[in-house]
């Protein structure tokens, strides 16, 4: 606040106080409690005006410096507040940009995870199909080998059974012929006995 403005402010304050005193005096006259008398009440006004004048005369420089200092402090605080607001707005913009980047990064990572998961699922399915095919091939090979082994065993058993049956049949034939020879020999022996001729 400049000195000219300070003087105007003080003059306005004095004028307002005088108007208030005049109104107070008019009210007192209307209430019939005695009117304003300059010789009594005027000295109060003069004392007040002198006090304000002395205050302005001797304290003008100090008051002006104080008001100027206060003005500068307030201006500096406003500048600091504006700078802090600008810094806060810059930080807010930076954080909003980072949030946008993080959201984009999050979406990208989700897409990569989904794609990676799909690839892994396809790989697992391919591995499972290959393993099923390998196990089926191994099982088929095992069944073929087991079938051949059973077939060979059946051939051996069939051959052994056929051989045994043939041996038994031959044995029976041989035994029948031998019996017939024995019977024939016995009959010859009987025929050669004395008394058999008659």
Reported as a single tens digit per residue, the pLDDT across 22-31 is 665 555 555 4
Structure confidence by residue, pLDDT tens digits, 150-196: 888 887 787 777 767 766 776 676 666 677 777 777 777 767 776 65
The C-alpha atoms of residue 157 and residue 149 are separated, in whole angstroms, by 12
Is residue 83 within 8 Å of 34, Cβ to Cβ?
A: no
Length in residues, the chain:
198
Is residue 96 within 8 Å of 50, Cβ to Cβ?
A: no
Model-wide pTM > 0.85: no
Q: Element (H or E) spanning 110, and its range?
A: helix 43-192
* Residue 187, pLDDT score: 73
The C-alpha atoms of residue 18 and residue 15 are separated, in whole angstroms, by 5
Residues of the chain with pLDDT under 50: 1, 3, 31, 198
């Amino acid at each position: 606040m400049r000195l000219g403005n300070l003087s105007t402010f003080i003059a306005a304050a004095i004028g307002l106080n005088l108007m208030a005193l005049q109104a107070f005096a008019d009210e007192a006259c209307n209430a019939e409690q005695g009117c304003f008398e300059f010789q009594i009440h005027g000295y109060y006004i003069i004392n007040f005006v002198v006090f304000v004048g002395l205050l302005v005369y001797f304290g003008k420089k100090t008051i002006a410096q104080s008001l100027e200092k206060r003005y500068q402090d307030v201006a500096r605080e406003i500048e600091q507040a504006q700078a802090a607001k600008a810094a806060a707005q810059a930080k807010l913009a930076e954080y909003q940009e980072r949030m946008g980047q993080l959201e984009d990064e999050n979406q990208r990572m989700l897409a990569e995870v989904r794609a990676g998961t799909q690839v892994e699922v396809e790989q697992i399915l391919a591995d499972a199909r290959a393993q099923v095919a390998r196990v089926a091939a191994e099982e088929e090979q095992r069944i073929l080998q087991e079938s051949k082994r059973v077939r060979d065993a059946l051939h051996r058993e069939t051959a052994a059974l056929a051989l045994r049956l043939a041996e038994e049949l031959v044995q029976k034939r041989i035994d029948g012929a031998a019996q017939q020879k024995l019977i024939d020999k016995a009959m010859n022996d009987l025929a050669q006995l004395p008394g058999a001729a008659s």
